[in-house]
Amino acid sequence: MPDAIAYISRDTDGQLWKKALEAGLGPLDFRTLDGLGDRAGIEVALAWKPPPGLIASFPNLTLIVSLGMGVDHLLADDRLPAGVPIVRIMDAGLVGQMSEYAIYWALRHHRDIDKYAASQRAKQWKPEDFVDTIHRRVGVLGLGTIGQDTASKIAALGFPTAGWSRTQKSLPGIETFHGADGLKRLLAQSDILINVLPLTRDTRGILNAEAFAALPRGAYLINMARGGHVVDEALLVALDSGQLSGAALDVFNTEPLPPDHPYWTHPAVHVTPHIAGATNPRTASPGVIENIRRMRAGEPLIHTVDPATGY
């Protein structure tokens, strides 16, 4: 009977995951990409950006676990085995990292730190005009676990905060919008826009020329979701025209970001290498252990994904 767990990722060697899972499940037949062995013995695939078609080569697979909270990297493979449930991790540690990233860049923009850094380089003592926190409106695209945590923490700092989701949601202290009309309303009142949407067929390219034009002039973009949400050419035009004052980008349409990409040298862009949130086996493993236990016991799974919607 298959019981092996395959770790499908090139980011690390998987030993931290092996240790964390064995703490909850006991000794495991834990295999990595370099030692998959007899694929008929693989029961569970822990995957991050798996090679296309690889997961379909496991004939007795009963569970696919995304090693990220997003699953677009899995659904990009049109050969995923039908009927095998997909679950995602729910990682409180990663959620906290993501909100930290958003808060950092929001405050850096709000307090004009880049302008002061330029003044320091020029040896100029130049106070900038003060903007009251209550006049700096923040919009969060996506009100899932990460979006709700980010919006709540931003609001706790005193910023008027709103959020948008595909369907209607309610969050204490946060003005919420949904649907196409709601998106326009959110954009119109977002001096800082934070994107944490899942990447689906409906959200790909959502940050386009129309969206940037709908923002208040001088708005600032923080994208820590997926690069596929952004139409790069439209963002560059918006930055060059002054419609947007700047952007902090952690994710890109092509990763690693090509050396000749204009984001690297654009004076209004900050680039980070997809580090806003890193999966932590210590905080992510309990949910994975619970799902493996449930799967083996024939119980309902948690954190399941609907391939049709992409989340």
Active-site option among 274, 294, 296, 303: 274
Q: Which residue has the tokens 């909100």?
A: 99
- The span from the first CA to the last CA of the chain, in angstroms, equals 31
226 catalytic per annotation: yes
Active-site option among 136, 166, 226, 229: 226
**Could you give the residue numbers annotated as active site?**
226, 274
